Amino acid sequence: MTSESREELIRTSDAPERATLLELLFDLAYVAALAVTSVQLSVDATPTGAVQLLLLLMAIWWTWTITAQLTDFYHPERRPVQVMITGTMFGTILLAGTIPFAFGSLGWLFASAYVALHVTRGVILLSVLRARHVRARAARFLFWFVVSAIFWMLGAFATDWARFAWWLAAITIDYVASGLRYPTPWLGRVPRKQYEQASAGHLGERYQQFTILALGDLLLMPTLRIGTTEFTPERFVAFLITFVTTLLLWQIYVFRAGAFLQVAIVQRPGRISRAAPYTHFLIVAGIVSSAAGFDLVIGQPTGDTPTSWVAIIVGGPILFLLGRTVFEYVVFRVVAWSRLAWMAVLIAIAPAVTFLPPVFTIATTALVLCGIAISDAIRSHRGSRTLPDVTSLRS
């Protein structure tokens, strides 16, 4: 590969702002991974199962967000970048397939796939890049993924909670190192200006697209369940409620989403690129939990609601709202107090809904989400008092 072609890997002004078709196909692999995670949560709706799945979801999400950063910094239509995207897509399917057995017989495969994805990406980048500053960036990422790989592989050959402890240390390293801008011996941290140079229009759109696709999990899970169980009026009502809840979560997410993107493009792309992975993880985790709750309720819409089911059904929207609220604060430095109040309502009613049938539990949750959507609409009407003007953020 010539020096000129190597330099072309860096995103240039002619790079597409919109996601490429390969990136959209890549996202579909993650829709499958989220569906598998939701199914597993509904099968193992226990505190232990939920905590283990949360850790696995963190690994799967981190693979997506690092790849999104890859296509944001490097040209997504250059051949080496496309090879890395397709390789990551295959690895993601492999990760998803091992989720039910990751804390059992296939822990070695889950850890090996995760490590191989990130280490191989770093090796490829170092082999094709020439400019010193971009090689240093790739080296920083690779260094920390090699460090975390040690813990991933130690956990792969441990058992039970020892495996969880090793993997928790590994994923913590991945998340914290990114938050600290990958401080690396002799190289220092990733310069802030590299985050500011990010194509925020592309990156912001990638997070929005992924979230909308993830919301499809809320339609997929109940549709599959109602299509494979005996039809009853109670199940049909539960199905309708899940559909309405999906629309409400969509409405809550897209509330002023265009303004978010405008701020990201015009003013502070670095803030978006560094905060979005963490805030959107909460959103995605909330979607996975909600989808698992829908699956459980349609399977058994009547009778008492177990405490573990309540945690999944109510916890999903809470995580979603928390991520959405923190993201809005990061961008605008505005606290959505009405949304926080509704979240408090959800937490307060959680103990009471254990005495209701599951179908009434999701109905209650949907009513709270409806209240949030109405509150957001009221805030939008008072936009001049709740949302800073974009030009005021020039600093």
CA 226 to chain centre: 26
End-to-end CA distance of the chain: 41
What is the torsional sign of CA 138, 143, 148, 151? positive
Confidence of residue 329 (pLDDT cuts 50, 70, 90): confident
Q: What is the mean pLDDT of residues 378-385?
A: 65
Amino acid sitting at position 28: L
Q: How many CB atoms lie within 10 A of CB 262?
A: 15
Q: Kindly state the percentage of the chain with pLDDT values over 90.
A: 65
Query: CB under 8 Å to 62, separation ≥6 — which residues?
Result: 171, 174, 175, 277
Tens of pLDDT, residues 240-263: 999 999 999 999 988 765 455 555
Residue 232 in 3-state DSSP? coil
- Give this prediction's pTM: 0.91
pLDDT of residue 315: 95
Smallest CA-to-CA distance from 145 within 166, 168, 175, 165 is with 175
> Whole-angstrom Cα distance, residue 376 to residue 365?
17
Strand partners, 74: 10
Tens of pLDDT, residues 78-114: 889 999 999 999 999 999 999 999 999 999 999 999 9
